[in-house]
Amino acid sequence: MRLGKCIYSEDGLVLLNRHVELNVALINRLVHYGVDFVYIEDEATSDVVVEDPISDETRIKALSEVRSNFRAFMETSSKPKLSKGPVLGRAFGNVISMIMDDLSSHQGTLIMLMNMNVMNNYLYQHSLNVCIYATMLGMANGYSKDDLRTLAMGALLHDIGKTKINQDLLKKNGKLTPEQMEEIKKHAEIGYKLLKDEPGVPLLAAHCAFQHHERLDGSGYPRGIEDKEIHDFAKWLAIIDSYDAMTTHRPYRHAMLPHQALEVLFAGAGTLYDIKKVSMFRDNVAVYPLGLTLTLSTGERGVVVRINPNVPQRPVVRVLTDPEGRALTQPYEVDLAVKLTVFVSQADEL
């Protein structure tokens, strides 16, 4: 297997170039560093063009800013004094401008995100993913540029409070005790306090950090506020944060399949999450991105070659192997939006 795309470090350095041949040692290193998916060159799918809505330049710049600024918070016992002036707001404001510019050129297309080309800390990638989803959904919802920037800032910084939580606790490989869970829950209020007086960061962005774990029925935290008390931006983040967390591998559990995570969101729609926003999320996110290798309920394996805009959770799959794993001499395509008795049973990982 040869890489179809480069692998980057969290500093933006190329660690593995495109066309590099993978071996067991390299695959084990990728797994160790949290890279769950990679693109592989394959003649059977050479016609499938996978275009990331976010350029490598933007993604690397964004991750670098998140990493450097979050680490500054992690490494000080109090709020770091980076320098006078709106340093945090300016740094992330520039990143948000790049993200908005990238997404503007892809408006009207389904967004497809996969954590497959950067070795990084989960917190950094998760923060960026939530920001990209939120910005795209804000555009689809018709928000003004000012509102978009505030939503994007709140999304990018929604978990900054976790920089003040014991990192070993966040990475614990096992079930948390009630006391440990309460400790982690403090991140929402901590994030608000870190951001509320930060120059260049809108107060509403601080409230995004404060409210992203609140739920419509009052069962969320830290304040247990209900529907009308929760800002619209925080309602978006509640959905996006939950979805990205559920579909990402963590040390203590495997990722859910995207359609399973959507089912969880819809099960909570109306009580935990805003049902109109969950529906809009479903209609604008390609839950199975182009180029992803899937195992179908028939046992056959193939690659996503097209997204159905009306039912993005039911893509067109090019079947490459039979249920016994034998390569087909004549691959064929299955449209899951038409073949309703067939469903995705597994999304491939290393």
pLDDT at 273 (0 to 100): 98
Q: Who wins on pLDDT, 243 or 286?
A: 243
Residues 222 and 329 in one domain: no
Report the number of distinct structural domains present in the chain. 2
Residues 278 and 297 in one domain: no
Question: CB of 89 within 8 A of CB of 82?
Answer: no
CB atoms inside a 10 Å sphere around CB 212 = 28
Residues 243 and 342 in one domain: no
Residues 259 and 173 in one domain: yes
Residues 266 and 122 in one domain: yes
pLDDT tens digits, residue range 33-68?
767 678 888 888 888 877 778 888 898 889 889 988
Residues 65 and 195 in one domain: yes
Residues 113 and 137 in one domain: yes
Q: Which of 267, 284, 301 is the last residue before a domain boundary? A: 284
- Label residues 272-309 b or e (16+ Cβ within 10 Å = b): bbbeebbebbbebbbbbbbbbbbbbeeebbbbbbebbe
Domain with 220, as residue range(s), is 61-284
Q: Who wins on pLDDT, 146 or 110?
A: 146
Q: Which of 284, 308, 339 is the last residue before a domain boundary? A: 284
What is the pLDDT confidence band of residue 137, given thresholds at 50, 70 and 90?
very high
pLDDT at position 123 over 80: yes
Q: What is the DSSP string of 17-48?
A: -TTPBP-HHHHHHHHHTT-----B--GGGTT-
Domain contains 7: no
CA angle 146, 121, 221 (to 5 degrees): 60
pLDDT tens digits, residue range 4-27?
888 877 666 778 888 999 999 998
Question: CB of 191 within 8 A of CB of 211?
Answer: no
pTM for this entry? 0.85
Q: Which of 261, 284, 307 is the last residue before a domain boundary? A: 284
Domain contains 267: yes
Residues 93 and 229 in one domain: yes
Residues 133 and 262 in one domain: yes
Residues 79 and 119 in one domain: yes
Residues 102 and 189 in one domain: yes
pLDDT at position 115 over 50: yes
Residues 176 and 304 in one domain: no
